[in-house]
């Protein structure tokens, strides 16, 4: 009998196909060496009938790389993940490669590693350069912004990191604002300084901060100093005025608040008037003392005694004058009352003629001119009847001749009659040798 030898070759575990060139990744046991079918399913990260395809979240050789570990640009959507892990829309800034897992090389950063670290405007030139953002750790130079300090300041901003606003400046008038310094080319408003006029004066005030707070003459040592106006916010030293206490008193004034007038001083020489205290450098005129000669000079003790004595004497004389004046006034008033009473009594007598007739032979009388009150001489008898009883009483009364002459006389012819026919102590009438009365002596009749 002839025998033949037959050799049968089987693919190694995990491979299949005619030439065993295909791989399978079965979970339990080998796959069918002919068709690669895995009866118990696939190992992790693998999928398919033959378990030789990566699942949706893995890629690469042996499906060992995760799709989620890539740095794909997914700003517009999630990127697919093929067997190579390719990103549909490229990589995020700072990354490169098919699957975007490779960092930008040193000196480059940003999208597709297209930016150079040398182009940044970092405040510190030795700042590190992040491969993704290119961030300047110490910030940007004047006029630049963003993390990599490569963009100029936006309109309306300036300075380091473009952090200053042009609207915050205190420029004099409307001025442009450059991106680097925000310069106020025509100067600052009063009280502000620096090129951009954003810092208030310190220890100074006014335009260009040119006025010193220490040069003021504020009364309070700790008076504030407004950086704009320089106001002391309070009173000034003597001899100074104004909000900043830097203006001397006007000519002719001195003292606190310049409230005193040089002209009212009692100086020997008023032409010299220090604005601070108004001192009379040449001294005071007599009777005044003090720095500005406004205080009346103090009186000595002897002068005080003399003044008191004079005052007492003057007071006594004044009292006596009042007493004498009062007595004189009382006397005149009493005399007037008596005269008025007498005249009223005489009017009663004359207006009521006596009813009893008297022998005309027993009566003599004086005839007076009815118009001027003068005497008609010589005396003669008259047939007129006179009440001798009444006139006798008056003739012998206390009245003087002047009082009798002052009373009115009455007669039908326009004259008057006075004096009773009988003799009395006032006047004794005689027929042929009549005595002169006061009126006769005066007129010489």
The answer to the question of residue 216 being in a domain is: yes
Q: What is the pLDDT of residues 133-172, one digit of tens each?
A: 999 999 999 999 999 999 999 999 999 999 999 999 999 9
Is residue 237 domain-shared with residue 274, that is, in the same domain? no
Is residue 429 domain-shared with residue 378, that is, in the same domain? yes
Domains held by the chain: number: 3
Cβ pair 141, 160 in contact under 8 A? yes
The answer to the question of residue 272 being in a domain is: yes
Identify the H or E element spanning 152. Answer: strand 151-152
* Closest to 198 measured CA to CA, from 168, 219, 163, 237: 168
- Mean per-residue pLDDT of the chain: 79
Residue 26: strand, helix, or coil: strand
Residue indicated by tokens 């378990």? 51
The answer to the question of residue 71 being in a domain is: no
* Closest to 388 measured CA to CA, from 359, 366, 350, 428: 359
**Which of 215, 248, 281 is the last residue in one of the domains?**
248
Domain enclosing residue 382, as ranges: 356-443
The answer to the question of residue 290 being in a domain is: yes
Is residue 219 domain-shared with residue 260, that is, in the same domain? no
Indicate if the pLDDT at residue 403 is higher than 50.
no
* Closest to 16 measured CA to CA, from 45, 44, 52: 52
**How far apart (Å, rounded) are the C-alpha atoms in residues 115 and 109?**
5
Indicate if the pLDDT at residue 196 is higher than 90.
yes
Is residue 369 domain-shared with residue 435, that is, in the same domain? yes
**How far apart (Å, rounded) are the C-alpha atoms in residues 77 and 398?**
154
Is residue 395 domain-shared with residue 434, that is, in the same domain? yes
The answer to the question of residue 325 being in a domain is: no
The answer to the question of residue 51 being in a domain is: no
Identify the H or E element spanning 53. Answer: strand 53-54
Find the range with the poorest average confidence among 35-49, 114-128, 155-169, 344-358.
344-358
Indicate if the pLDDT at residue 317 is higher than 70.
yes
Please, which pLDDT band fits residue 10 given cuts at 50, 70 and 90?
confident
Indicate if the pLDDT at residue 350 is higher than 60.
no
Q: Please, what is the Cα angle at 43 between 40 and 49, to 5 degrees? A: 60
Count of beta carbons in the 10 Å neighbourhood of residue 184? 22
Indicate if the pLDDT at residue 79 is higher than 80.
yes
Is residue 437 domain-shared with residue 393, that is, in the same domain? yes
The answer to the question of residue 69 being in a domain is: no
The answer to the question of residue 94 being in a domain is: no
Indicate if the pLDDT at residue 108 is higher than 80.
yes
């Amino acid at each position: 009998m002839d025998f033949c030898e037959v050799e049968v070759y089987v693919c190694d575990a995990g491979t299949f196909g005619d030439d065993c060139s295909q791989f399978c990744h079965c979970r339990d046991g080998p796959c069918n060496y002919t068709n690669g079918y895995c009866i118990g399913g696939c190992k992790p990260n693998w999928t398919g009938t033959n378990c030789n395809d990566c699942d949706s979240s893995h890629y690469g050789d042996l499906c060992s790389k995760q799709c989620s570990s890539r740095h794909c640009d997914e700003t517009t959507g999630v990127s697919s993940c093929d067997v190579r892990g390719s990103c549909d829309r490229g990589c995020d800034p700072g990354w490169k490669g098919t699957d975007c897992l490779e960092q930008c090389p040193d000196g480059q950063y940003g999208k597709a590693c297209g930016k150079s670290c040398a182009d940044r405007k970092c405040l510190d030139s030795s700042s590190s350069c992040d491969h993704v953002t290119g961030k300047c750790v110490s910030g940007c130079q004047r006029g630049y912004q963003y993390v990599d300090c490569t963009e100029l300041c936006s309109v309306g901003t300036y300075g380091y990191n473009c952090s200053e606003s042009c609207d915050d400046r205190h420029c004099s008038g409307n001025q442009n604002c450059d991106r680097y310094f925000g310069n106020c080319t025509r100067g600052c408003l009063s009280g502000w300084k620096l090129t951009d006029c954003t810092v208030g004066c310190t220890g100074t005030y006014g335009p260009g901060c040119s006025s010193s707070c220490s040069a003021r003459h504020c009364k309070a040592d700790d008076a504030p100093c407004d950086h704009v106006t320089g106001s002391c916010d309070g009173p000034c030293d003597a001899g100074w005025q104004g909000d900043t206490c830097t203006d001397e008193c006007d000519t002719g004034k001195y003292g606190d608040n310049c409230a005193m007038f040089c002209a009212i001083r009692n100086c020997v020489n008023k032409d010299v008037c220090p604005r601070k205290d108004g001192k009379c450098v040449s001294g005071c005129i007599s009777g005044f003392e003090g720095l500005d000669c406004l205080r009346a000079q103090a009186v000595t003790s002897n002068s005080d005694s003399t003044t008191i004595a004079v005052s007492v004497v003057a007071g006594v004389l004044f009292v006596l004058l009042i007493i004498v004046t009062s007595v004189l006034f009382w006397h005149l008033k009493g005399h007037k009352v008596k005269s008025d009473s007498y005249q009223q009594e005489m009017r009663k007598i004359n207006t009521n003629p006596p009813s009893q007739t008297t022998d005309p032979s027993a009566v003599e009388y004086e005839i007076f001119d009815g118009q001027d009150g003068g005497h008609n001489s010589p005396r003669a008898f008259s047939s007129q009847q006179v009440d001798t009883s009444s006139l006798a009483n008056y003739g012998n009364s206390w009245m003087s001749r002047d009082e009798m002459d002052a009373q009115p006389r009455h007669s039908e012819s326009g004259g008057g009659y006075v004096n009773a026919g009988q003799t009395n102590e006032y006047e004794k009438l005689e027929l042929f040798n009549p005595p002169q009365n006061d009126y006769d002596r005066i007129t010489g009749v």
